[in-house]
């Protein structure tokens, strides 16, 4: 399998994308980018990386950041626990490892938000340690190359691929090998319509030879998502607009939103929304259907006891809060930012 490794690393040396974290020496850009790339495509992560790196260019400045600053810069990217874990890991690295990423797998895995994949990526790319990465792109490349029929949702399949790669990952430049695999899966060996003519492995790939690229890898259907229905209640008085902070644990921990009424069905939501547009936002295990109403009497507000806190916020304060993406859509739809600005100007 030396040919496998040499073919993809040679291909990568010519075809790798010019990503911003590849332009800066040291482990910190890799560390930051890997947190951003969890559950996020490269093109979506790039502007967030640039903004966060510009604000916090090293581990010391990141470790000293306020959580609210990190969440604000992360806003719109989703999976906000990544942002909190990033900050916690930075603080542990700064205080417990003298500002240096721990170069050993066992220690790296103790950091918040770092599992097998992220640890292997950082240690191989930044420290030249021969740990293979296994993500969706890597699984697809290997499963097609070998024409393995197993379900890629299963943990045993990932373990089989990791063992395969552990036997062939080169001792020299293992990071290039890992990045080449991920790059190949992301840009050439795509889930649909793979560009086999551009693939350095096409002459050896068994799925290509057997015309199996449309059926391999096999991925079983996901479990059905939970459906939830929510009505956002938008209330304003002379002090501003009412927002509430979600609990510190659970879905969207500590994020801010308009107070909510949980409903039992789409029909109930449509009825109470009074003709307002029904919005949809999807999470990994939940499809959220929601809309909004304007509340004029505070006695009509839903129960607020389950929130950490509430606040009446003016324009600048509201824009400074970490509001989750679903409710940012409400702000955009109602053009509330314009309304806030107009209200502020009227008072001046």
Question: Distances in Å between the alpha carbon of 132 and those of 13, 35, 51, 115, 192?
Answer: 18, 17, 29, 13, 25
| Tokens describing residue 26 | 């040291």
Which residues are bridge partners to 323 per DSSP?
256
Please list, in sequence order, all residues whose beta carbon lies within 8 angstroms of the beta carbon of residue 6, skipping any fewer than 6 positions away: none
**Catalytic choice (10, 34, 67, 344):** 34
Integer Cα distance of 6 and 16 in angstroms: 15
CB 297, CB 234: distance < 8 Å: no
Euclidean distance between CA atoms 115 and 112, whole angstroms: 9
34: annotated active-site residue: yes
**SS3 at position 233:** strand
**Cα 311-74-225 angle, rounded to 5 deg:** 90
CA pair distance 20, 307, nearest whole angstrom: 39
Q: What is the dihedral of CA 131, 137, 141, 143, to 10 degrees?
A: 90
Nearest of 166, 271, 290 to residue 228 by alpha carbon:
290
Positions annotated as catalytic residues are 34
């Amino acid at each position: 399998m030396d040919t496998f490794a040499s073919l993809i690393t040679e291909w990568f040396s010519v075809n790798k994308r010019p990503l911003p974290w590849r332009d800066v020496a040291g482990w910190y850009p890799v560390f930051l980018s890997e947190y951003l790339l969890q559950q996020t495509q490269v093109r979506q992560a790039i502007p967030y990386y640039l903004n966060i790196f510009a604000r916090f260019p090293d581990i010391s400045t990141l470790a000293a950041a306020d959580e609210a600053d990190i969440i604000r810069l992360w806003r719109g990217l989703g999976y906000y626990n990544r942002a909190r874990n990033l900050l916690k890991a930075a603080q542990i690295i700064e205080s417990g490892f003298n500002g240096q990423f721990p170069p050993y797998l066992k220690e790296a895995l103790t950091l918040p938000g770092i599992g097998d994949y992220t640890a292997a990526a950082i240690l191989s790319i930044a420290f030249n340690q021969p740990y293979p990465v296994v993500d969706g792109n890597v699984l697809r490349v290997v499963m097609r190359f070998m024409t393995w029929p197993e379900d890629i949702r299963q943990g045993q399949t990932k373990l089989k691929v990791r063992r395969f790669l552990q036997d062939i990952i080169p001792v020299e430049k293992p990071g290039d090998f890992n990045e080449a695999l991920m790059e190949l899966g992301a840009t050439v060996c795509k889930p649909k319509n793979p560009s086999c003519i551009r693939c350095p492995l096409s002459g050896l790939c068994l799925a290509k030879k057997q015309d199996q690229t449309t059926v391999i890898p096999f991925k079983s259907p996901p479990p059905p998502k939970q459906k939830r229905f929510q009505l956002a209640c938008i209330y304003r008085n002379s002090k501003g607009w009412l927002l509430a902070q979600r609990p510190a644990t659970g879905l969207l921990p500590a994020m801010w939103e308009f107070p909510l009424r949980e409903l039992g069905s789409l029909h109930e939501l449509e009825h109470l929304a009074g003709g307002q547009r029904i919005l949809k936002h999807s999470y990994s295990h939940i499809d959220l259907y929601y809309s909004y109403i304007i509340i004029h009497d505070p006695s009509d507000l839903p129960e607020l006891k389950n929130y950490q806190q509430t606040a009446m916020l003016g324009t600048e304060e509201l824009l400074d809060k970490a509001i989750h993406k679903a409710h940012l859509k409400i702000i955009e739809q109602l053009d509330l930012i314009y309304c806030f600005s107009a209200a502020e100007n009227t008072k001046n």
